[in-house]
Amino acid sequence: MRPVIALAVAAGCLAAPFAAPIAAAQEIPVSRWGADDEIGAANHLSPAKVQEAVRLVTTGKTYALGIPVDRGTPAFPPRNIAVTVMAPNQPEGVTFGSNKMSYLDDMVTGWLGVGTQIDGLAHLGTDSTFYNRNKMKDIFDTTGVKKLGAHKIPPIVTRGVLLDVAKAKGKDRLMEGDLVTVDDIKAAEKAAGISPGKGDVVVLHTGWLSMLGEDAKRFGAGEPGIDAEGARYLAGKDVVAVGADTWGIEAVPFKSDRVWEGHQILLAQNGIYILETLDTRALVKDGVSEFLFVLGAPRYTGSIQAIINPVAIR
Residue 142 is assigned to a structural domain of this protein: yes
CB-based contact 112:303 (threshold 8 Å): yes
How many domains would you assign to the chain? 1
User: Each residue of 78-131: pLDDT tens digit?
Assistant: 999 999 999 999 999 999 999 999 999 999 999 999 999 999 999 999 999 999
Domain ranges, residue 133: 7-313
Residue 120 is assigned to a structural domain of this protein: yes
Mean pLDDT of 161-185: 97
How far, in Å, are 23, 249, 314 from residue 244 at the CA level? 27, 6, 18
Residue 72 is assigned to a structural domain of this protein: yes
CB-based contact 228:258 (threshold 8 Å): yes
CB-based burial of residue 193 (10 Å sphere; 0-12 exposed, 13-18 middle, 19+ buried)? exposed
Q: Is the dihedral of CA 265, 66, 47, 194 positive or negative?
A: positive
Residue 149 is assigned to a structural domain of this protein: yes
User: Each residue of 191-232: pLDDT tens digit?
Assistant: 999 999 999 999 999 999 999 999 999 999 999 999 999 999
Q: Specify the pairing of strand 273-276 against strand 241-244.
A: parallel
Residue 80 is assigned to a structural domain of this protein: yes
User: Each residue of 153-172: pLDDT tens digit?
Assistant: 999 999 999 999 999 999 99
> In CATH, what number is assigned to the domain containing residue 215?
3.50.30.50
Nearest Cα residue to 243 out of 269, 209, 281, 277: 277
Residue 2 is assigned to a structural domain of this protein: no
Residue 1 is assigned to a structural domain of this protein: no
Look up the pTM and report it.
Answer: 0.91
